[in-house]
């Protein structure tokens, strides 16, 4: 027995929530990313070849789209669930006949929704700077789904583990932001010193960025199949973590 | 079918036994009060029924549905009004109720019931207001509406009248009584003993995780076998008590005499005659029959709860 309508309502609630504050949740992140675009594209010569036949601006845009999706998917589930916990209104969901998996799917679904909306906003706005093609739209969609749902799941994890807002922002600023900055959004990891080149291979965000870039441009630093596998594995691990915490009732049910 | 059946239920938090082997059944259609001092385990018990807390051992079922094994059915049957005034800051009252109804799988066809709830609870004017703009009393009403949105046969109210003014309290009781008349089983906790005494036919008292009483109100009240006789003495009254009554005297203000009498063994008529004979003259007398407060105090070791 699955409570489909209950799941659908919770998903709707989560999407409705971020749309009610869309200036903060959609518009602001798009503008922030555009500022990166503006700054980096004017500082770094556009004629520079990043990958065969790819100039800097065209290289940068897909990376920025992924970064925006990652950060906003995480921000959505983490802040929504944590605020509900802090306010106490999370009990209205906990009292309802909605399973752990349905809760997980609804929160992750909304994180995917917000991540993709922001990503699409960045892509649209970036057309003003450079038209970036999407050569493999289906795979691009898969990568977008994988990266937003993984980060949505991680957002749930941090919202469940955290005891105060400080912890959420620490996770965001000391894990999500550095990992996304160091994932080859702004540079090719081949330009890095050997140590950091190796280190980047342990950064799951790198595979999302590189894989998505391949879907847009048809060229990438590593083989796209590898990126897809790593992305899937990362999604599975974060989901298992989030579901495990939900099942245990950690910090939610005593 | 019992509305609630609890068997040997225990909950430990580290070394603290919040619930210690509680057995309790509540009949369908009952108006049931769960009393006890702070920390007695009332909320733990309610939270276990609601699925917010998991028992360490023992069983709990709502209308025959085990709260762990058949958690979904158990939750469909149960409506809980939480003690804390929790609310969702993003949505208006009507939006919140619609969402809550959706969590229970109810869509548009439940709209009429939501409107009815808004009407009966006097929330129509506030239907399109967000909760942070509502007073405490209004928030309490919204919580009640939210708990009833799926029309649950068993309704638990955890301290429904805490911090509520007298007028609203009366309205809430009227509303809750009406729900009971319509067949809903009502289970409530309260610190206002006189409310429990006036409203509930069945009363259970928890103390330090154990059930110390569970009976009908009348039975419970008759357990306390003492009553007080208070006499307003006249100035010319004698002051020495007859020998048989000396050990029954209790401390009283000057000009008054207070006697603690056994309900069955001490006959008021004989006591008065004995006093008359000893030269005690009085202008007025009052008999105080014990209420729930006395029973409660005796059963919970007289510890004062401070809320």
CB contact under 8 A, A253 and B51: yes
Q: How far is CA B114 from CA A108, A232, B119, B131, B167, in A?
A: 29, 43, 9, 17, 24
pLDDT of the residue at A118:
97
CA R_g for chain B: 24
Interface of B with A (CB under 8 A): 13, 47, 50-54, 71-73, 75-76, 78, 80, 82, 84, 86-91, 99-100, 102-107, 146
B152 has pLDDT over 50: yes
**DSSP H helical ranges for chain B:** 42-50, 71-77, 93-103, 111-120, 136-148, 166-181, 193-199, 217-222, 268-277, 292-299
Average of pLDDT values for B86-96?
Answer: 92
Within 8 A of A253 by CB-CB distance, chain B residues are 51-54
Token pair recorded at residue B69: 């094994």
**B251 Ramachandran zone, left/alpha/beta (phi>0; psi -120 to 50):** beta
pLDDT of the residue at A162:
95
B221 has pLDDT over 80: no
B22 has pLDDT over 60: yes
pLDDT tens string A198-209 = 888 999 999 999
pLDDT of the residue at B153:
96
**DSSP H helical ranges for A44-136:** 56-87, 91-94, 100-126
pLDDT tens string B254-301 = 888 898 888 778 888 888 888 888 888 898 988 887 777 777 777 777
The nearest CA of chain A is from the CA of B212 a distance in Å of 25
Distance between first and last Cα of chain B: 36
Determine the Cα–Cα distance for residues A195 and B232; give it in Å rounded to an integer: 96
pLDDT tens string A48-85 = 788 888 888 899 999 999 999 999 999 999 999 999 99
pLDDT band for position B306 (cuts 50, 70, 90): very low
Residue B151's CB is within 10 A of a number of other CB atoms, namely: 16
Least-confidence region, from B67-81, B105-119, B205-219: B205-219
Residue in B66, B89, B103, B144 to test binding to A, most A beta-carbons within 10 Å: B103
- Tell how strand B31-35 and strand B185-189 pair up: parallel
pLDDT of the residue at B248:
86
Within 8 A of B83 by CB-CB distance, chain A residues are none
Token pair recorded at residue B225: 């076998």
Average of pLDDT values for B28-39?
Answer: 90
Per 3-state DSSP, what percentage of chain B is helix, strand, and coil (rounded to 5)? 35, 30, 35
Determine the Cα–Cα distance for residues A229 and A213; give it in Å rounded to an integer: 16
Place of tokens 């919040």: B18
pLDDT of the residue at B50:
94
pLDDT tens string A91-102 = 999 999 999 999
B307 has pLDDT over 90: no
- The mean pLDDT of chain B is 88
- The mean pLDDT of chain A is 93
B98 has pLDDT over 50: yes
pLDDT band for position A240 (cuts 50, 70, 90): very high
B304 has pLDDT over 50: no
Structural domain boundaries in chain A:
4-248
* ipTM, 2 dp: 0.91
pLDDT of the residue at B302:
60
B129 has pLDDT over 50: yes
Bridge partners, residue A160, by sequence: none
SS3 label, residue A18 = helix
CA A96 to chain centre: 29
pLDDT band for position B171 (cuts 50, 70, 90): confident
Q: Which of A6, A93, A254 sits opposite B105 (nearest CB)?
A: A6
């Amino acid at each position: 027995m699955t409570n489909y309508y209950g799941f659908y309502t919770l998903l709707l609630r989560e999407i409705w929530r971020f749309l009610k504050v869309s200036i903060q949740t959609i518009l602001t992140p798009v503008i922030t990313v555009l500022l990166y675009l503006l700054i980096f594209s004017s500082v770094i010569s556009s004629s520079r070849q990043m990958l065969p036949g790819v100039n800097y601006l065209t290289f940068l845009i897909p990376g920025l789209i992924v970064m925006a999706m990652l950060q906003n998917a995480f921000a959505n589930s983490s802040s929504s669930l944590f605020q509900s916990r802090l306010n106490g209104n999370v009990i209205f969901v906990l009292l309802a006949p909605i399973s752990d998996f349905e809760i997980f799917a609804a929160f992750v679904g909304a994180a995917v929704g917000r991540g993709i909306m922001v990503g699409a906003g960045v892509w649209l706005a970036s057309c003003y700077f450079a038209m970036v093609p999407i050569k493999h739209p289906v795979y691009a969609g898969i990568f977008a789904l994988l990266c937003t749902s993984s980060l949505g799941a991680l957002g749930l994890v941090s919202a469940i583990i955290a005891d105060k807002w400080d912890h959420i922002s620490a996770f965001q600023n000391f894990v999500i932001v550095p990992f996304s900055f160091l994932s080859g959004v702004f540079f090719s990891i081949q330009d890095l010193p050997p140590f950091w080149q190796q280190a980047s291979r342990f950064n799951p965000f790198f595979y999302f960025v590189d894989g998505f870039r391949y879907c847009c441009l048809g060229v990438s630093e590593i083989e796209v199949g590898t990126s897809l596998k790593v992305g899937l594995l990362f999604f599975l691990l974060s989901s298992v973590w989030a579901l495990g915490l939900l099942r245990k009732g950690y910090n939610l049910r005593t | 079918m019992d509305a609630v059946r609890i068997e040997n239920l225990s909950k430990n938090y580290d070394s603290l036994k919040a619930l210690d082997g509680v057995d309790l059944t509540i009949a369908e259609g009952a108006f049931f009060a769960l009393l006890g001092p702070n920390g007695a385990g009332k909320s733990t018990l309610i939270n276990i029924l609601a699925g917010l807390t998991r028992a360490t051992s023992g069983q709990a079922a709502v209308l025959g549905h085990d709260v762990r094994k058949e958690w979904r059915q158990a939750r469909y049957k149960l409506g809980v009004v939480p003690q804390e005034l929790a609310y969702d800051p993003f949505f208006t009252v009507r939006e919140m109720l619609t969402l809550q109804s959706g969590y229970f799988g109810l869509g548009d066809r439940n709209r009429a019931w939501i409107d009815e709830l808004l009407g009966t609870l006097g929330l129509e004017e506030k239907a399109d207001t967000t909760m942070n703009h509502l007073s405490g009393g209004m928030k309490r009403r919204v919580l009640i509406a939210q708990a009833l949105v799926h029309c649950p046969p068993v309704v638990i109210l955890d301290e429904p009248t805490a911090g509520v003014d007298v007028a609203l309290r009366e309205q809430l009781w009227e509303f809750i009584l009406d729900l009971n008349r319509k067949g809903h089983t009502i289970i409530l906790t309260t610190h206002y003993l006189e409310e429990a005494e006036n409203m509930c036919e069945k009363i259970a008292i928890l103390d330090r995780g154990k059930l110390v009483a569970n009976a009908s109100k009348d039975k419970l009240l008759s357990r306390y076998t003492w009553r007080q006789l208070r006499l307003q003495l006249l100035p010319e009254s004698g002051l020495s008590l007859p020998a048989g009554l000396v050990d029954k005297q209790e401390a009283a203000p000057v000009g008054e005499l207070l006697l603690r009498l056994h309900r069955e063994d001490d006959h008021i008529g004989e006591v008065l005659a004995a006093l008359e004979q000893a030269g005690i003259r009085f202008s007025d007398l009052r008999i105080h029959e014990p209420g729930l407060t006395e029973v409660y105090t005796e059963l919970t070791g007289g510890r004062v709860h401070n809320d």
